[in-house]
Amino acid sequence: MNDVLDLKIKATQIRLDLINMIYESKSGHIGGSLSSADILTVLYYNVMNIDPNNPNWEERDRFILSKGHSVEAYYSVLADKGYFPKEELKTYCKFGTRLIGHPNNKIPGIEMNTGALGHGLSIAVGMALGAKMDNKSFRVFTLMGDGELAEGSNWEAAMAASHYKLNNLIGIVDRNKLQISGNTEEVMSLEPLEDKWKSFGWDVLTTDGNDIEKLIDTFNAAIASANDKPKLILAYTTKGKGVKFIENKANWHHRVPTEEEYKAAISELQELMEVYLNEQNIK
């Protein structure tokens, strides 16, 4: 599925699904999930070489959700791709479920258990290094938060990735400029972030991380690059993207919407969905 409009519809459906999960279970990380919904959609429906019917296929591209708290968006995508029944999303965070509040590799399609920040990139380096050792052509993707980058382990991994010339590794930073306590530049400044990655030997590509079309182009450019550097996609996003009153507000990191807020969020996204569906009919 390549059509940009189709992917916009997908991303909107993912947003609706994840808000339902969070509202039903009264737990979850709404801001970061909404912010990364477009990135995950493009990865899973356009970029990655995967087969949901064969989740352990050896040649599959690997993905690690380093910012594991955005699990609601991730589960929604995986269910829609057919890794497990969509119905199971209703068990999210309920007693005895396998759909716990962070990625769990007992679930088909999930490679690694994450949840503590600052682990994904090291794991991705190991996977990419293993691929090189065995002359395999799969690629490794990992999605990190920007606040997450304060963990020193990321920079140890960044160093290793360029040292081992892991051009089969693509890191993505969900650059929404917010973390739990507020603006990243006030909590622990990251800028100049692009220069930091470059100085660690990475190719850096910047894009609008909530624009499906631009994301596709950026991933294509990263994959097409012929040099031996690891690639970092600095994806500028809006935390809470898609629901106006949630957008760009630190306190929506892990707030659960009230009934009123829930209804407002759903109807805003449904309106957007109508617009896309009309466009599709006109086509």
Ligand X SMILES: Cc1ncc(C[n+]2csc(CCOP(=O)(O)OP(=O)(O)O)c2C)c(N)n1
Contact set with ligand X (CB under 6 A): 31-32, 35, 67, 69, 115-118, 145-148, 174, 176, 178-180, 239, 253
Is 188 one of the binding residues for other proteins (CB under 8 A)?
A: yes
**Interatomic CA distance for residues 104 and 273, integer angstroms:** 30
Residue nearest to ligand X according to CB distances in the complex: 145
Closest CB 182 distance from other proteins, rounded Å: 9
**Interatomic CA distance for residues 2 and 11, integer angstroms:** 13
CB atoms within 10 A of CB 48: 17
**Interatomic CA distance for residues 92 and 72, integer angstroms:** 8
Q: Which of 16, 14, 19, 17 is nearest to 31 (CA)?
A: 19
Q: Judged by CB under 5 A, which of 147, 171, 242, 257 binds Mg ion?
A: 147
Contact partner, 76, from ligand X, other proteins, Mg ion, none, Cβ < 5-8 Å per class: none
For other proteins (CB under 8 A), the number of binding residues is 31
Considering only residues 174-233, where is the footprint of Mg ion by CB under 5 A? 176, 178-179
Q: Judged by CB under 8 A, which of 55, 68, 120, 230 binds other proteins?
A: 68
- Give the up-direction half-sphere exposure of residue 117: CA atoms within 13 A in the CB hemisphere: 16
Q: Cβ(265)–Cβ(57) under 8 Å? A: no
Is 256 one of the binding residues for other proteins (CB under 8 A)?
A: no
Q: In the stretch 121-160, what mask flags binding to other proteins with x, by CB under 8 A?
A: --------------------------xx-xxx--------
30-42 and 4-25 helices, crossing angle to 10°: 150
Closest CB 201 distance from other proteins, rounded Å: 22
Minimum CB distance to Mg ion smaller for 185 or for 195: 185
**Interatomic CA distance for residues 218 and 225, integer angstroms:** 11
Helix (H) or strand (E) holding 157: helix 152-163
Provide the terminal-to-terminal Cα distance of the chain, rounded to the nearest Å. Answer: 16
Lookup: tokens for 163? 């040292």
DSSP letter, residue 146:
S
At residue 181's C-alpha, the angle toward residues 146 and 120, to 5°, is 30
Minimum CB distance to Mg ion smaller for 81 or for 253: 253
Question: Tokens 């809470």, residue?
Answer: 240
Is 32 one of the binding residues for other proteins (CB under 8 A)?
A: no
Is 176 one of the binding residues for other proteins (CB under 8 A)?
A: no
Is 146 one of the binding residues for Mg ion (CB under 5 A)?
A: yes
Is 154 one of the binding residues for Mg ion (CB under 5 A)?
A: no
Is 151 one of the binding residues for Mg ion (CB under 5 A)?
A: no
Binding region for other proteins (CB under 8 A) out of 8-16, 47-55, 93-101, 196-204: 93-101
Residues that bind other proteins (CB under 8 A): 25, 27, 68, 93-102, 104, 113-118, 147-148, 150-152, 179-181, 184, 187-188
